[in-house]
Amino acid sequence: MAAAPDSEQQSSVSMEEMVSLCARRGFIFQSSEIYGGANGFWDYGPLGVELKNNLKALWWQYMVRRRDDVVGVDTSIIAAPRTWEASGHVESFSDPMVDCRACKKRFRADHLEGVAPCDSREGTSEHDFTEARDFNLMLSTKIGASVAASADAYLRPETCQSIFTGFKRVRETARQKIPFGIGQIGKAFRNEITPRNFTFRSREFEQAEMEYFIHPSEQDKSFDYWLDQRERFHKGIFKEENLRLRAHADDELAHYCNNARDVEFLFPFGWQEIEGIHDRGDWDLTRHSEFSGKDQSVTNEQTKEKFMPMCTETSMGIDRTCLAVLVDAYEEETMEGGETRTVLHIHPALAPIKVAVLPLSKKLSEPAQVIAENLRKRFNTAYDASGNIGRRYRRQDEIGTPYCVTYDFDSEEDGAVTVRERDSMTQDRVPIDEVGEYLRIRIEADPWE
């Protein structure tokens, strides 16, 4: 993902530039925009959904498919409300909040630094804060057709709880023994008080979570192993200087957690978490055993030892990681001759469009379209015949398309096309019948090798 050697970096991206690029090119924009939007909710457009699906596929490949000891599930967003009593969320999934008595705005008590001044008091811009109060972050809803018979339920604030409640069934049906893991990607909802920084803190988001169940003697080893694995995953898609691991202080640990590290990314608004790796101990399985009355412990068939498995969790935010991918990849580059281009150096595995086919002249559309159709069977392929070739390259650079295939007047004669690579801008002449394989080797290259 290095920049072109003959270019110099001009500016790093600001959040304004990022939001503007995302809206302009249809990556991500406000939900229900025409009604003024809904605070903390976002829509992914045609390019955004490709990026997001590619990230999910990459995670799934790395965490589930490639492994013999991890299986996947896709569980419902709404679960029996008892689930959230057992998990501790009803009691303690909250942020301490303060309200300003004058302007009525609400803030997180631990995020007061730098908040906008109060505009409702005379003679001072200071807020008149209440005492801090706990505010539960779970979104609730009602289930059932009639008002009288309806029951309260919650939209899940994390995807993992159904992994715990389904632990026994999944282990038995997948014929897995400890140690093994269960992975899932899905929506989660939190009634964040102050959604902000674009998709970074939203009220509806996706998580990719994996819970790995181990014997208590393996607890520390498993934590270190998954820390390494997750670091490797992120190093495959991000520049190293934009990544760091941060340990949680004791007073930061969530109620279920014995040990935690955050994978942090350097956003324009500073270092922030994109993933948490947690040692959840036996908190969840023990609590679900108590609350459901169904013992979740396992027995080692050889030694007959009965034990409650411990759990290492890896929990990545899909939306935060997508945003980080865009920030990491963004560059405004000055090329030879002084022209600038905006380019997204996205890893080919994540790029929304893998290849664009560009006929040099509209007269060459027909054979170029045949090439595009063939490539489309394998890769997400764009076709663009409008504007001069330089402009068309820029359009693809700006959305991170790693390869452009140009069909020119010589192609008729030599049966070959020019393949231009996004980052180095180098061009190769490739026979038309070899272009699919040429691209496959490059596009499907493993990010971790």
Residues near ligand ATP (CB under 6 A): 158, 190, 192, 201-202, 205, 207, 273-276, 315, 317, 319-320
413's CB contacts (< 8 A; 6+ apart) are none
Longest pairwise C-alpha distance within the chain: 80
Give backbone dihedrals phi and psi of 306, rounded to 5 degrees, phi first.
-105, 130
Dihedral Cα 128, 132, 134, 138, nearest 10 deg: 40
Class of residue 56 by CB neighbours under 10 A (exposed 0-12, middle 13-18, buried 19+) = middle
Least Å distance, CB 94 to ligand ATP, is 11
Residue nearer to ligand ATP on the CB measure, 261 or 420: 261
Q: Are 274 and 321 in contact (CB under 8 A)?
A: yes
Residue nearer to ligand ATP on the CB measure, 273 or 332: 273
Whole-angstrom distance, CA of residue 157 vs CA of residue 65: 26
Least Å distance, CB 275 to ligand ATP, is 5
Full DSSP string of 146-193: STTT-EEEEE-SSSTHHHHHTHHHHHHHTT--SSEEEEEEEEEE---S
440's CB contacts (< 8 A; 6+ apart) are 378
User: How many CB atoms are located within 10 Å of the residue 303 CB?
Assistant: 8
Verify cis geometry, omega within 30 degrees of 0, for the bond prior to 179.
yes
Least Å distance, CB 61 to ligand ATP, is 19
Least Å distance, CB 312 to ligand ATP, is 13
Residue nearer to ligand ATP on the CB measure, 207 or 222: 207
Least Å distance, CB 114 to ligand ATP, is 16
State which residue has the least CB distance to ligand ATP: 317
Whole-angstrom distance, CA of residue 76 vs CA of residue 92: 22
Residue nearer to ligand ATP on the CB measure, 282 or 319: 319
Whole-angstrom distance, CA of residue 384 vs CA of residue 26: 17
Whole-angstrom distance, CA of residue 236 vs CA of residue 325: 11
Least Å distance, CB 28 to ligand ATP, is 12
User: How many CB atoms are located within 10 Å of the residue 215 CB?
Assistant: 15
Residue nearer to ligand ATP on the CB measure, 186 or 359: 186
Residue nearer to ligand ATP on the CB measure, 317 or 400: 317
Least Å distance, CB 386 to ligand ATP, is 37
Least Å distance, CB 200 to ligand ATP, is 6
Give backbone dihedrals phi and psi of 436, rounded to 5 degrees, phi first.
-60, -45
Residue nearer to ligand ATP on the CB measure, 261 or 288: 261
Least Å distance, CB 402 to ligand ATP, is 26
Give backbone dihedrals phi and psi of 23, rounded to 5 degrees, phi first.
-75, -45
Residue nearer to ligand ATP on the CB measure, 274 or 375: 274
Least Å distance, CB 319 to ligand ATP, is 5
Structure tokens at 299: 């027995």
Residue nearer to ligand ATP on the CB measure, 263 or 343: 263
Residue nearer to ligand ATP on the CB measure, 276 or 309: 276
Residue nearer to ligand ATP on the CB measure, 106 or 442: 106
Structure tokens at 209: 């979570």
Whole-angstrom distance, CA of residue 30 vs CA of residue 43: 6
Q: Are 396 and 442 in contact (CB under 8 A)?
A: no
Structure tokens at 272: 């922030």
Q: Are 448 and 58 in contact (CB under 8 A)?
A: no
Residue nearer to ligand ATP on the CB measure, 171 or 230: 230
Least Å distance, CB 446 to ligand ATP, is 24
Least Å distance, CB 158 to ligand ATP, is 6
